[in-house]
Structure formats: structure tokens, C-alpha cells
Amino acid sequence: MRAILVDLAPSTAVRPSLEMLPLVNVGHKSLADYATIATRGLMQEIRRLAEPLRGKRVLHISATAFGGGVAEINYTLVPLMADAGLEVEWRIIHGREEFYDVTKAIHNGLQGAPGGLDAEQRRIFREYNAMNAGELSDEPYDFIVVHDPQPAALIDHFPGSSARWIWRGHIDFSTPNREVFDFLLPSICRYDAAIFHLREYVPQADGLPECFIWPPAIDPLAPKNMALSPEDASYILDQFGIDVERPLLTQVSRFDPWKDPLGVIDAYRLVKERFPEVQLALVGSMAHDDPEGWDFYNRTVSYTAGDPDVFILSNMNNVGAVEVNAFQVHSAAVLQKSIREGFGLTVSEALWKSRPVVAGRVGGIVTQIEDGRTGWLVDSPEQAAEACKAVLDNPEEARRTALRGKEHVRRNFLTPRLLRDWLALFNRQLGNETAGVELTTAAQR
Ligand code: UDP
């Protein structure tokens, strides 16, 4: 069935094209390569779950193929689902600045920022979703997986669809601005299932579909996370002007107030009082659906006040996956001083590299770090500074902590487990057995 466009004629700014939504080329990955990392039991579960799904058609839809966690996850999940025997596509919705301004306001509202949405913002959100729905046919698909709020209202235009629609929320919904959440709620209620990272994120609301809880995962074999020697990491960082003989603190994240890069600079300054040789790298990609990114990037640059030991780098400086890997591998400590955080893939990425991680005590970070055992959880720049000083004072102890963190990531936050959960959900949606895999639902206590 093609989308029904009823009373939502697109504005002249967003004329529908005759093209389908653009496809993302995800390349190829092979499940067999993960056999040395995942347990044999997990690999068997994946194979059993994949069997009845052979040939099923899956469409992932998201707002961007670049920058941020959703893109990071899909570049691995989509090709691995394909290797498991499903027919999988990932498509990106169209948008322009006016739409991304609204979706950023929605994102901020869902993470608790005050202020609602005015009539014009609501109109823009609906119009772009209607326009994108007009470029989509649900007919070829068995499952349509919609990521995050930006395309959440596509489903409004497919009443009676034969596809199973699943909505995946990736952000921190623990304290949503209710007005913003209530705007999205009617759309979310139309889905067949919704997935949240944490139980605390599932909103109190009537009419929600069955809600499942599972965290995302990192790909241990992707260029971002594959083994990189300390020598190679130093060689790469040297080319960015980092003094590889002196300690480095790093935060890798979008330039976004919720990631608190200014708080990271405050923490670094406090560390520098005791360790004058310390350097700081803030590595942040610019996502095309994040209009606030540039403003906040500029604010972050000014906040450094020209300190030559602070390096602000992004994809604009050719920092790609391998370079992020090198920064994480080389750092004395990795920070993720978020104020809100859906999950925080960067935490697992750093722990996987056995790096000491100092991170905000928020959202999905607390599932990755047990304070004092696998890393450091902090509530302020002062606490972040204290934790970094503890790491620099006692690197051996810090490394032991990080190794425990790595083991926690290995057991819980690597891609094969994520693939297993998706395959189990697809089977469950079709009424199939789930090979003994018990998915956690919001109803369970
Ligand atoms: N990332 C990157 N380059 C950057 C900044 C971020 O590759 O300059 C990646 C980072 O390594 C991680 C993802 O983007 O894989 C961010 O995911 P996370 O869950 O930490 O935060 P989100 O951006 O989804 O809020």
C-alpha cells in the first residue's frame, strides 16, 4: 500500500520528488567473522532465529546516515541482518533546515528541555513526515523499523499496512517534556512494537504498543573499534599535533549541550592545575540533521580561550572512524560527561579499548559503568576532574578498572547480542518460536 496523503499537502518548500527515499549503502559484513568474539551459544541462537526469517524484507528508516549513534548502529546491524538471510534496506528521510530545527526541538523536549511546540512547528513536522511518506511504499516490506522521533509520524499515512511497524527510540526519555511527548504519542501508539534502551524510558501512557527493553551495541570489528596498536594510535595522533608523550583526555561526541563539552573543558582546567602537561581533545562529528551543532561548536571553540593544549577536531579535519579509534586507544582517560544520554555508545567504545572512562551519571551510561568497579560516574566538572586525577595518579589501578569494564561490554554491548534481540523480536511479531530467547518487555518487573 502506498502512503495515503490526506489533508497534509506538502508546502512548496518540500515538493515530493518521484524518487523513493534514498538508500544507504552499508557494504557487506559477515556474521562468521564474529564467531571468535561471541559465545558459541549466542551464535547458535542467531542462526536458529534467522532460519524462519530467511527472505523476510526489512526496511530501516532514519533521519541521517552520518553522525551520531543511530548511523553508527545501522552501518553494522543492517549488513549483518542481510548476512543472516533477510532482505534489508536502510533509507533516509528528506529534510531541510526548517524540519531539522523542529526535530531538534523535539529531541531536546523529549530529553526534558522546557518549552513546547507551536502550531507552525507542528505543521512543519507533519508536512515533512507526510512528504516522506509519499515517497515510500510499505508493500514490499514485512518489517519497517523507524528510528527516533524524526520519521515517527510516517506511520500515520499507512493505515491498514500489512507490514509490522517497529519504533526504536534512541534517546533519553527519562524526564520528557510532556507536551512534546504527547505530540508524538498518537503516532507511536500506531506501531506494533516500540523499543527503548532502559525500562525508565518507557513513558506512562495509555495505548502504547508492546514495549521492549534492550540496549544498543558497538561493532568490535568495525574500523572504529577493531584492534589498533598503541604505536599506530600514537602515529595517527601525532599527525593531529597531539604531543603523544604527554597525557591526553578525550571526549568523542557531537557538539551538543547535552554532551556538556564546556563542562569537559572546566574539568580539564582543574586537572591541569595538578598535571600541567595534560592535553584535551574534543572530537565531534557534525551531523547534517543537527542545526545547533555549528553554534555549539563555535561556543566550544571560544570557551577554550585559545588554549594550545585543547584540540577541537571533527570530520571537517578528516577525523573518521579510524582516527576516533586512535584517540580512544591513546587517551589516558576518555570522558563522556553527558547531562542526558540515551545510551552513549562512546562509553562502550572506550571500555572495549580498555580505557578508563569518566562519564556522567545519566541515562544509559549507568548500565555501562558501575561506579568504582568498571569506571567513574560523575555529577559535575569537579567530580570529573577528581576522577581524571585519580586515573593519572594511578594508571595501573585505572587499567584494572577499565579491564573489568571491557569484560562487561564483551558480555552485554557487542553487535551479535543486538542482532539476536532484533531477530527474536521479528520472530515474535510473526508468532514464531524465539529459540528460547526471552526478550525483556516493559511489563516485566
Ligand atoms: N562519533 C564519531 N565521530 C565524532 C563524534 C561521534 O564517529 O566526531 C561517533 C561515536 O564514536 C559514537 C557515535 O558517533 O559511535 C555517537 O553515539 P552516542 O550513542 O555516543 O551518542 P549520540 O550521538 O547518538 O547521542
Mean pLDDT of the chain: 93
Q: Count CA within 13 A, CB hemisphere, residue 232.
A: 10
Q: Residue 12: is its pLDDT beyond 90?
A: no
Query: Is 395 a residue whose pLDDT tops 70?
Result: yes
Residues 245, 381, single domain; the answer is yes
In total, how many domains does the chain have?
A: 2
Q: What is the mean pLDDT of residues 412-433?
A: 97
Is residue 309 very low, low, confident or very high in pLDDT (cuts 50, 70, 90)?
Answer: very high
Comparing 13-17, 157-161, 255-259, the range with the smallest average pLDDT is: 13-17
pTM, entire model: 0.92
Cβ atoms of 165 and 146 within 8 Å: the answer is yes
Q: Which domain holds residue 262?
A: 230-412
Give the whole-angstrom CA distance, residue 136 versus residue 93: 10
Q: Tell me, in angstroms, the distance from the centre of ligand 1 to residue 306's CA.
A: 25
Q: Return d(Cα 174, Cα 342) in angstroms, integer.
A: 9
Sorting pLDDT into bands at 50, 70 and 90, what band is 435? confident
Would the pLDDT of 364 be above 80?
yes
Mutate to test the pocket of ligand 1, among 72, 201, 311 (most ligand atoms within 8 A of CB): 72
Q: Do 100 and 183 sit in the same domain of this protein?
A: yes
* Residue 278: pLDDT band with limits 50, 70, 90: very high
pLDDT > 70? residue 19: no
Residue 351 CA to ligand 1 center (angstroms) comes to: 14
Of the two residues 192 and 20, the one the predictor is more confident about is 192
Ligand 1 midpoint to CA 48 (Å): 32
**Per-residue model confidence as pLDDT tens digits over 197-241:** 999 999 888 999 999 999 999 999 999 999 999 999 999 999 999
DSSP state of 375: B
Nine-digit cell string for 98: 526548517
Pairing of strands 248-252, 333-336: parallel
Residue nearest to atom 2 of ligand 1 (CA): 285
Q: Among 70, 168, 252, which is best to mutate for testing ligand 1, by the most ligand atoms less than 8 A from CB?
A: 252
Which residue minimizes the CA distance to atom 23 of ligand 1? 68
Going by alpha carbons, the residue nearest to atom 11 of ligand 1 is 346
**pLDDT grade for 285, boundaries at 50, 70 and 90:** confident
Nearest-atom number in ligand 1 for the CA of 283 is 8
Q: Is the pLDDT of residue 3 over 80?
A: no
CA-closest residue to ligand 1 atom 7: 321
Q: What is the whole-number distance in angstroms between the Cα of residue 285 and the centre of ligand 1?
A: 7
Query: Which atom of ligand 1 has the smallest separation from the CA of 347?
Result: 20
Pocket of ligand 1 (CB under 6 A): 68-69, 72, 224, 252-254, 283-285, 314, 319, 324, 342-346, 349
* Statement: residue 376 has pLDDT above 70: yes
22 lies in some domain: no
User: Do 248 and 161 have their domain in common?
Assistant: no
Atom of ligand 1 nearest to the CA of 70: 24
Report the separation in Å between the CA atom of 83 and the middle of ligand 1, taken as the mean of its atom positions.
25
Same domain, 37 and 164: yes
Residues 59 and 43 occupy one common structural domain: yes
Structure confidence by residue, pLDDT tens digits, 90-128? 999 999 999 999 999 999 999 999 999 999 999 999 999
The answer to whether residue 8 is domain-embedded is no
Are the C-beta atoms of 419 and 46 separated by less than 8 Å?
A: yes
Q: What pLDDT score does 293 carry? A: 83
Is 274 in the same domain as 187? no
Task: Note whether 284 and 202 are same-domain residues.
Answer: no
Query: Does 202 lie in the same domain as 83?
Result: yes
Q: What is the CATH number of the domain that holds 316?
A: 3.40.50.2000
Question: Domain check: are 243 and 259 in the same one?
Answer: yes
Dist CA 15 CA 138 (whole Å): 20
Distance (Å) from CA 16 to ligand 1 centroid: 31
CA dihedral over 130, 132, 134, 138, signed as positive or negative: negative
Same domain (yes/no): 249, 381: yes
pLDDT for the residue 8: 36
Q: How confident is the model at residue 2 (pLDDT cuts 50, 70, 90)?
A: low
Query: Residue 47: its pLDDT value, please?
Result: 97
Q: Which atom of ligand 1 is nearest to the CA of 346?
A: 20
